[in-house]
Structures are given as C-alpha cells and as structure tokens.
C-alpha cells in the first residue's frame, strides 16, 4: 500500500469565537514517527481528536488510513490505536487482567504477554492498577493503545508529567513500536522530544502549520547565521545578527583595540527557531541591532 497514513487538507475547527484549527495541512507517511509540535493552545489536541474520529470538524478533508474518521466504521477503528490518559479500567484489576480484557475488543489482537513485555511491565503483570506509579500507568495506557495491533498509533502529549528518566524510557518504547512497523503520530510541546523521536515534524501555531520537515533540516533551513554579543563602552549590551561572525568580531576587535567586553557568538538552536516560528520569542530580544 502506497497511500499515506494521514492526509489533511484545509482542516478547520471553531469553538464559538475561538478558531482552534485554521486551515491546517498535513501529510504523514506510513511507517514514520511524526511529531506535532506547538505551544499550549496551538490546536494540536483538537487536530489529533479529529484524526481519531472523536471530534467533528467544521471544514477541510481528512483521510486516516484511507478513510474519513468522521464516518469510518468499526473495522477502521481497530486499525487505529489511541492512547487515552488514564484509561478508565477498574483499579482492582491486575495489569495482565486489564490487557487481556482490552484484547477481547479487537479482531486480531497482539499477544497480551508480549505487549506487557514490550512496555516493560513484565515485573508488574500481577500487580493491581492502583499500585502502579504514574510512569507505569502511562506504559499500561500505551499497552492498551497497541493491544489491537494498530497500523497507526495516535498519542497526545504522552510524556507530560514524566521525569527525565521515565521520558527516555518512553522514547525507547516508541522506537520499538516504530521499528515493529507502527506509524506513530504524537503531539508534544517538548522540542527535545520531537527532535529525539520524530522522523519529521510539523510546528503548529495558531491552528496552522508554520514549518514542516526533518528536525535537522528545519534547523538548517531556518537557523543559519550567528549572533555576536558584547558590551559597549558605556556599559550597554549590544548584539548583531550576521552571516559572517568572524568579520564582525574583527571589526569589533579593531574598534575596541583589544579585548571586546563580554564577547559571545551564538548560533540559533532549534529552540530559537521554534520560538520565533511560534511567535513566543519577545520581539525586543530577537531584534538584532546592526553594529555601528
Ligand atoms: N472543548 C473546547 N471548547 C472550547 N474551546 C476549546 C476546546 N478545546 C480546545 N479549545 C480551544 O481551542 C484552542 C486549541 O486548543 P487545543 O487543545 O487543540 O490546543 P493544544 O495545541 O493541544 O494545546 P495544549 O498543548 O495546551 O494541549 C485553544 O484556544 C483552546 O482553548
């Protein structure tokens, strides 16, 4: 099958006066890990809920595994894995009982024991849900999302609230699932997470895609140039944006006739690029003054 996993054209969603999604386009290929990155309120969750078929859209075209989620039936649902936050399973059930129970909803589920091992909960399989830690609970949520052996897994902010070690373990789990052939779409507002996991990512701001591509390519395309900073004779901080920092430094060295106070050369990180794209960077701090 050559068709893409997800095709979205001109997606729109309005909540009263609020335009949550404002003409969003996305193409997600089969087999890739795709990150939807954006600040709070950018429209990520709304988009994912529409892809899941859990929210109606106001406009645009959406195809997920070749079907419109708004009208797709049960067979389609079993091919799309959804990870709910704190799936409402009875706290008295054990991990094994819960996974086995959810497996019965699907026509061709994975082996529950294998899925429990995949998410790293083998040691906990006889434990009741109420005794799991937050991170273990999220792993169980992922187990329930993949027990039906989905072709596509949709994760909305899967690692919010994780400590750094738990986050890294979770990334390993996503890579394992990806290696096993599952297409994965995840939303995050952690740039580090998008960079670590995503083959490609879309930066979303105000309901639109403002940049899209491989993380390294995004950085390269948007993050050329350097900023030279120093402190002037009157004590005021100065900066200059330049494609030729060496020349700028040489000019400064000549002007100061020696050491340039507080000299610093920085290149934009993906974070700078991201903050600029999403309009979160204070204009006053980004405006680069030309050196005189
Ligand atoms: N059920 C709703 N009713 C009204 N407004 C909503 C609803 N859900 C979301 N919104 C608004 O729509 C906009 C987009 O919200 P959405 O949750 O999709 O963004 P997000 O990118 O997922 O943000 P976050 O990272 O905070 O989860 C926001 O302004 C939000 O307040």
Domain ranges of the chain: 6-219, 223-286
> Tens digits of per-residue pLDDT, 63-111?
999 999 999 998 999 999 988 765 577 788 999 999 999 999 998 999 9
pLDDT at residue number 237: 95
pTM recorded for the entire structure: 0.80
pLDDT exceeds 50 at position 187 = yes
Let me know: does 136 contact 173? Beta carbons within 8 Å: no
pLDDT at residue number 286: 37
Q: Best mutation site among 38, 43, 207 for ligand 1, i.e. most ligand atoms within 8 A of its Cβ?
A: 43
Percent of the chain with pLDDT over 90: 60
Please identify, by atom number, the ligand 1 atom nearest to the C-alpha of residue 47: 18
Please identify, by atom number, the ligand 1 atom nearest to the C-alpha of residue 189: 25
pLDDT exceeds 50 at position 1 = no
Please give all residues whose beta carbon lies within 6 A of any atom in ligand 1, as ranges: 15, 18, 20, 38, 40-46, 189
pLDDT at residue number 285: 41
Please identify, by atom number, the ligand 1 atom nearest to the C-alpha of residue 39: 25
Whether domain 6-219 has CATH 3.40.50.720: no
What is the whole-number distance in angstroms between the Cα of residue 44 and the centre of ligand 1?
8
Please identify, by atom number, the ligand 1 atom nearest to the C-alpha of residue 204: 21
ipTM of the complex: 0.95
pLDDT at residue number 119: 86
First to last CA, the chain: 60
What is the whole-number distance in angstroms between the Cα of residue 194 and the centre of ligand 1?
20
> Tens digits of per-residue pLDDT, 8-61?
999 999 999 999 999 999 999 999 999 999 888 899 999 999 999 999 999 999
pLDDT exceeds 80 at position 136 = yes
pLDDT at residue number 195: 87
Mean pLDDT for the chain?
88
pLDDT at residue number 223: 61
Residue with CA nearest ligand 1 atom 26? 40
Local confidence band at 261 (pLDDT 50, 70, 90 cut-offs): very high
């Amino acid at each position: 099958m050559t068709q893409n996993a997800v095709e979205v054209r001109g997606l729109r969603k309005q909540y009263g006066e609020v335009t949550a999604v404002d003409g969003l386009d996305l193409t997600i290929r089969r087999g890739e890990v795709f990150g939807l990155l954006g600040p709070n309120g950018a429209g990520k969750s709304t988009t994912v809920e529409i892809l899941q078929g859990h929210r109606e859209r106001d406009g645009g075209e959406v195809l997920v595994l070749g079907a419109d989620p708004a009208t797709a039936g049960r067979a389609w649902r079993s091919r799309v894995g959804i990870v709910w936050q704190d799936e409402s399973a009875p706290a008295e059930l054990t991990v094994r009982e819960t996974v086995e129970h959810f497996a019965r909803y699907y026509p061709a589920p994975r082996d529950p024991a294998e899925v429990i091992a995949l998410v790293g909960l083998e040691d906990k399989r006889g434990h009741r849900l109420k005794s799991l830690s937050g991170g273990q609970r999220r792993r169980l949520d992922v187990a329930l999302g993949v027990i039906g052996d989905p072709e596509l897994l949709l994760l909305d902010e899967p690692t919010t609230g994780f400590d750094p070690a738990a986050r890294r373990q979770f990334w390993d789990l996503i890579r394992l699932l990806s290696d096993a052939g599952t297409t994965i779409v995840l939303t995050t507002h952690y740039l580090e997470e998008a960079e670590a996991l995503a083959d490609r990512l879309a930066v979303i701001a105000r309901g639109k895609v403002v940049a899209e591509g491989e993380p390294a390519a995004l950085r390269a395309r948007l993050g050329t140039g350097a900023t030279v900073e120093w402190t002037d004779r009157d004590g005021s901080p100065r900066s200059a944006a330049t494609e030729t920092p060496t020349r700028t430094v040489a000019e400064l060295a000549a002007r100061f006739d020696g050491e340039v106070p507080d000299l610093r050369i920085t290149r934009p990180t993906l974070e700078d690029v991201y903050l600029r794209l999403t309009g979160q960077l204070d204009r006053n701090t980004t405006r680069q003054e030309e050196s005189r």
